[in-house]
Structure 1
Amino acid sequence: MGFPVDLRRCQALGLAGTAFLALGGETAGALPAHDFLAPGSVQAVLGLVGVYFGVVLLIAAWVLLGGVVRGPEPPTPRSLLLVLAVWAAPLLLAPPLFSRDVYSYLAQGAMVDAHIDVYAYGPAQLGGPLADEVAPVWQQTATPYGPVFLVVASVLSALTRGQLPAGLLGMRLIALLGVALMAAALPRLARHSGADPAAALWLGALNPLVLLHLVAGAHNDAIMLGLLGVGLVAARGRWPVLGVVLITLAALVKAPAALGLVAVVALRSRGRGPRAVLRYTVTTATAAAATTVAATAAAGTGYGWIAALKTPVSPHNWSPTSLLGRVTGAALDQLGSGLAPFALPAWHAAGLLVTAALLLFIWLWLRPGPVYALGLSLAAVAVFGPAVRPWYALWGLFLIAAAAPTGSVRTRVAAASAVLALTVLPSGAPADVEQVILAVSGGVLALVVLWQAHQAARPQSPVRERTA
């Protein structure tokens, strides 16, 4: 007999995982400068081990919960939402984890509040303690985010008056709102796509990447995906114009959500002729343009966000195109070629061409359901774009979870999620050998504990009495 698994045990194991995450993050997370501990200090070492101990426990709880969802008596979506709330609870007051991007959000909100053009200047222009928290690589970089997110960040800056603890909590609450919208949309999108709502929630909302990067990391991808999800729900129902408005607002947080407008046209014109496609295309484009103009005017930040879409990415980014660009550039440099500086831009351009070709293939050749096609499209954008981060995987994963046609697709996506959940240090900084060893040690310790629990739960074989 295997490890006894039920919803309650999965909930408790995941809660233990996020509790260790929160505790470890107190000394190993993306801490403010005045709380930063040297990586080799005892507290930082224990924190890093504790975080990865918690990550592995959380992944194990999620995998076991997947077995319960696929079992003969799967939990209801409502009970899964309760599990999500329990797992997320310890992370609410934890320091930022796995990225320092939240400090950039707060600095950009303060810049808008101070009437500094965030599309022309980086946080260094703001100056002061808040700007000092931004990672050095982004100090001089203009924001790549749209006016809707900047309005949210500006309002939060005004409410918290630049106070860091309040600002961090506010950004996390905004991210939680986005996760709540995602969780609300998933079952509805799954039913529309003929998928299992419980399986959709398990893969798309209780995924460790959601908890690690949208909740603990407070990334603005949460509000983008939340608006995109509820926009698709509205568009497939009786409020198509509202759906277009919500999806456009999502794109004015982060640009990839604009692909959702293609899904709206496909949802409304499915099974109809070319005239219907043209009519819904015009209607969708008009509503999206009106929303964009109104939102940009209300934000008062201007149209600099269009040029900001070309904001440079980190030179150490590990997207396939960036990696190939660096390798090619280094090889050309060794050969003494003057083409070395053009290697990275050339590979980024190639990535855009590959992405465009994949999008045409998905929508015009494969022609899956609109929600699933959108998920595949966003996954292609994330993989072949100039920048890749683990939380970018959620762009496509969220909708693939809602509409994947087979269980094998979910299994492969779940395996990729588990691997990606282990790839970033809780401080958000690049890893060195010592930190990798400590992280692996924490994960191995969790596996040992899980194995011991498994062994203890197995029934003991009866000992036969020897006969004389």
Structure 2
Amino acid sequence: MTVPVPAQKAGKPALSADAALGEVDNARSPLMAGFVGSMFLVIGSLGVGWLAPVSELRRLPLFIWMRTEGVGVSISIVLVAVGGMLLIRAWLRLGQRVRVWGLEARKATLRAIVAWGLPMAFTVPLFSRDVYAYIGQGRLMVEKINPYENGISALPNYFQLGADKMWTEAPVPYGQLFLWIEQFVVWVTNVQPEASIMLFRLVALVGVALCVVYIPKLAELHGVNPHRALWLTAANPLFLTNFIASIHNDSLMIGLALAGLYYCATRRVIRGILLVTLSISVKPITVVFLPFIGLLWAGKGASWPRRVLFWFLTAALSLGVLYAMSLFNGYGFGWIKGLSAPGSVAIWYAPTGLIGLIVASILNVFGVDGWGVAQWVYDAGKVLMVGAVGWLVFRGDYDRLIRRLTLAFAAIVVLSPMIQSWYVVWLLPLFAVTGIRNDWQVKAVYFVVAFFMIYGISDQLDVFPYLQSEDLGLALTLARNAAAIIALLFAVYLIFVDPKTKSLFRKRDLPGLRPII
């Protein structure tokens, strides 16, 4: 591993107290703009956020008006679309306000995380309803039904829980730790949806806190400015919406993984492996960290026999802990079967998914089973995925181990036929701590964040049961298209018209992001 840059050790830049006062030029304006955007999400979520059918909130007059009247639904759509994009503009403007990424920039970034993230803790779930699946899975655990063998359809009145129908028969793809969290939440709240949601949000906030603590620490190990890395990730609107507004368990997964990675990189390997193992027991995708941790443990210049030995020790320790946990709950490694669920669905903006969809569409025209061939395409993507991860494990410099891990994780995401916005948020911290340059790389981050915010705004609005229309499918399409158009027009404004932000998408020397000291 590279050592920290001396001027940045412990996050303290070599600046005088007087100079520090000028590090950030009036952060209040973007902070307030982002807070307004976050509040728009809170208010808009009352009308188009995801509510369980049994929710008591449906009986409140304000919710009734915002969810059943055309005016209320329309206002909610506009607020969510504008609020999400306003957060992106505030985030970009905060970066522009920074002259030097020092302690004042860190304070401004932490204020942004609180000011923008705290209101989201009180939204009706937005952009995803997976949290309702967590409630259903927790109910399975409470009722002693194996969640690795049964979907939530095994429960009476399961449809009242609010989960997406894809979970009715799907086995749970989560590890033992998260199953226990689900069980505890449902047991404490007695399946009360809003109380369960708030407890799951607390769990997500633990993950956010871990990211806030360990992203700067990992960045310093690579000589990367820790304060800029924190702004790129934890203050990022995509990070905040996915982990707080949407309540994805990926927050805890990546927070534990980053903490474990830090301890492994600083020679406290046992502690690090245990934390990464806990991450795996939330979502098993972080098992890809283990071979790279084995190399960290083996040390620089290790011979191949030594590397194999430490791979074995890493795997034995991690899998041993997972096995002990599986014995405790009696469900074993059933989550392995659930891992195939994401790979069975394709989406048009994933490279592998797009190729498969094109192949299927063309072959279907000629009477050939195009979807069968498309599955071959998805399988080929998986083979390439394994090959890319293997290459990065066996090839490359020791000092770039975490960057190699980052690229391996990125290969898993990019070569999957389905890419969700929270998959991107897995990658952002790892790329940020190993270095995102102020050129095409940071501009790519801006475009990706804008794209997935627009897609989330347009794809996940809970409106179709409430609009008064004979054709509910048409009503849903119109509502989501309206949200997409509003968000897209805002993005066009940011990129091509806004005199403050358009330069970020064009110039090589990006204002406000010049120093990485």
TM-score, normalised to structure 2, is: 0.80
Structure 1 counterpart of 2:382, which letter?
A: L
Q: CA deviation at 1:436?
A: 2.0
Match of residue 377 from structure 1: 408
Structure 1 counterpart of 2:373, which letter?
A: A
Pairing 1:292–2:292 present: no
Pairing 1:241–2:286 present: no
C-alpha change, 1:233 and 1:315, in structure 2 (3 Å) is closer
Q: Is the 8 A contact 1:101 1:134 kept in 2?
A: yes
Pairing 1:323–2:343 present: no
Alpha-carbon displacement from aligned partner over 1:104-135 (angstroms, at most 9, x marks no partner): 01111111111112112211111326654111
SS in 1 for 2:457: coil
C-alpha change, 1:131 and 1:323, in structure 2 (3 Å) is farther
Structure 2 counterpart of 1:155, which letter?
A: F
CA separation in 1, counterparts of 2:207 and 2:491? 30
Q: CA deviation at 1:94?
A: 1.0
Q: Is the 8 A contact 2:85 2:453 kept in 1?
A: no
Match of residue 63 from structure 1: 92
SS in 1 for 2:183: helix
Match of residue 454 from structure 2: 422
Q: CA deviation at 1:211?
A: 1.1
Q: CA deviation at 1:342?
A: 1.8
CA separation in 2, counterparts of 1:436 and 1:72? 39
Identity across matched positions, percent: 28
CA separation in 1, counterparts of 2:376 and 2:255? 34
Match of residue 393 from structure 1: 424
CA separation in 2, counterparts of 1:315 and 1:452? 38
CA separation in 2, counterparts of 1:429 and 1:16? 20
Q: For structure 1, which segment, 361-370 or 42-51, has the greater mean C-alpha deviation from structure 2 after superposition?
A: 361-370
CA separation in 2, counterparts of 1:276 and 1:410? 38
C-alpha change, 1:445 and 1:333, in structure 2 (3 Å) is closer
Q: Is the 8 A contact 1:99 1:428 kept in 2?
A: yes
Q: CA deviation at 1:249?
A: 1.6
Match of residue 9 from structure 1: 29
CA separation in 1, counterparts of 2:437 and 2:109? 21
CA separation in 2, counterparts of 1:128 and 1:204? 40
C-alpha change, 1:234 and 1:131, in structure 2 (3 Å) is farther
Q: CA deviation at 1:424?
A: 1.4
Q: Is the 8 A contact 1:62 1:207 kept in 2?
A: yes
CA separation in 2, counterparts of 1:347 and 1:39? 43
Match of residue 266 from structure 1: 295
Match of residue 461 from structure 1: none
Q: For structure 1, which segment, 226-235 or 370-379, has the greater mean C-alpha deviation from structure 2 after superposition?
A: 370-379
Match of residue 466 from structure 1: none
Among 189, 210, 219, the alignment partner of 2:248 is 219
Q: CA deviation at 1:417?
A: 1.7
Structure 2 counterpart of 1:30, which letter?
A: W
CA separation in 2, counterparts of 1:269 and 1:428? 45
SS in 2 for 1:32: coil
Among 187, 191, 203, the alignment partner of 1:174 is 203
CA separation in 2, counterparts of 1:246 and 1:68? 36
Alpha-carbon displacement from aligned partner over 1:286-329 (angstroms, at most 9, x marks no partner): 21121111222233322211222223657463433333323322
- Structure 2, gaps ≥5 residues long: 1-23, 59-63, 463-475, 501-517
Q: CA deviation at 1:237?
A: 2.1
Alpha-carbon displacement from aligned partner over 1:427-457 (angstroms, at most 9, x marks no partner): 7259724432344336647998998997xxx
Pairing 1:82–2:114 present: no
Q: CA deviation at 1:405?
A: 5.7
Alignment of 1:188-203 (within 5 A): 188-203=217-232
Q: CA deviation at 1:74?
A: 6.5
Match of residue 485 from structure 2: 440
- Structure 1, gaps ≥5 residues long: 455-468
Alpha-carbon displacement from aligned partner over 1:223-281 (angstroms, at most 9, x marks no partner): 10011011011112242011111111211211221111123123233422214423322
C-alpha change, 1:257 and 1:99, in structure 2 (3 Å) is same
Matched pairs, number: 451
